[in-house]
Amino acid sequence: MPIFNFSLFTLFFLFAVACCGVMAIYFVQERLIFPAPNIAVEGFEDEIFERAAITTPDGEELFALHHPSEKEEATILVFHGNGDAAIFQKEKGAHLAEQGFGVLLVEYRGYPGSSGEPSETGLFIDGQAAYDFIINQKPQRVGLYAHSLGTGVAVNLATERDVFAVVLESPFDSLMAVAQDRMPWLPVSLLLKHKFRSDLRIQNVTAPILIMHGNRDGVVPIKHGKLLHDTASSKAIFEEIKNAGHNDLANFGTVEKAVKFFKHGLK
């Protein structure tokens, strides 16, 4: 009898610990999904980029670095990953500018230089506000270039606004699917508040899409990029980047591939 009582107590104890762990994950998921770096944004303007402020429809102010397009040029709107920042996209942005594009490096709400708190809905609003900022400068064509979490923002935006091309690096079919793979023991679909279901949206994107994914990506395994491609339209192209991981794609020429894709999309 004492052995049974001890076993029952142990079972209840382990169950309580598991429940506490699940609840902890639920309440801290914003910190896990949106780990915004704590950095200042002053002094990043230069001869290529000027600082811009974008006001969203719900009253947030977003920091951005803007390289205005010249006559007849298109603008590329760049969305970064979850632990990144707009200011760290300057090298990519400078290359796009050198190739004859206007560029907008926009920051999400709750990230460096921007007000508010990040959320899936909030980032979608930010993406639309950034696009509208470009169009309000002057009528022009807009392309989207996104990495990791930013691909969820880009795919949603491409269903809401007119874009001429979309380039996705290290994308997921859904954040929910990636999280479920990492934590198969959790009811992720019930706990996750920010699911980023790109797989349900990308089929409605009419613009040409280029998906590039490293076959050594340990953050978002390449299978998720392939699954996203499988649900996209026939205009989508998938390119496996050999030996590339999640954050080193630029070392394998992906920015140059993106430029070529954007230029082809403008023909």
What is the full DSSP assignment across 243-260? T--SS-GGGGTHHHHHHH
Q: What is the pLDDT of residue 78?
A: 98
Cα distances (Å, whole numbers) of residue 84 to 17, 111, 226, 242: 33, 9, 23, 23
Neighbouring-strand partners of residue 77: 104, 144
Q: Are 144 and 167 in contact (CB under 8 A)?
A: yes
Neighbouring-strand partners of residue 211: 168, 238
Averaged confidence pLDDT in the chain = 90
Q: Which residue has better confidence, 193 or 174?
A: 174
- What span, in angstroms and rounded, lies between the C-alpha atoms of 122 and 128? 10
- What span, in angstroms and rounded, lies between the C-alpha atoms of 196 and 205? 15
Neighbouring-strand partners of residue 49: none
At 41, the pLDDT band (50, 70, 90 cuts) reads very high
Average pLDDT over residues 173-189: 82
Average pLDDT over residues 165-189: 87
Q: Are 116 and 57 in contact (CB under 8 A)?
A: no
The dihedral region occupied by 59, where left means phi > 0, alpha psi between -120 and 50, and beta the remainder, is left
Cα distances (Å, whole numbers) of residue 94 to 46, 97, 171, 178: 11, 5, 23, 32
Average pLDDT over residues 25-39: 81
pLDDT digits (tens, 9 = 90+) for 100-135: 999 999 999 999 999 999 999 999 999 999 999 999
- CB-based burial of residue 243 (10 Å sphere; 0-12 exposed, 13-18 middle, 19+ buried)? exposed
Q: What is the pLDDT of residue 9?
A: 46
- What span, in angstroms and rounded, lies between the C-alpha atoms of 237 and 105? 24
- What span, in angstroms and rounded, lies between the C-alpha atoms of 41 and 80? 15
Q: Which residue has better confidence, 61 or 11?
A: 61
The pLDDT of residue 13 is above 90: no
At 76, the pLDDT band (50, 70, 90 cuts) reads very high
pLDDT digits (tens, 9 = 90+) for 184-229: 877 777 778 889 999 999 999 999 999 999 999 999 999 999 999 9
Q: What is the pLDDT of residue 17?
A: 42
**Three-class DSSP labels, 52-118:** EEEECCCCCEEEEEEECCCCCCCEEEEECCCCCCHHHHHHHHHHHHHCCCEEEEECCCCCCCCCCCC
Helix (H, G, I), strand (E, B) or coil at 13: helix
The pLDDT of residue 255 is above 70: yes
Q: What is the pLDDT of residue 25?
A: 58
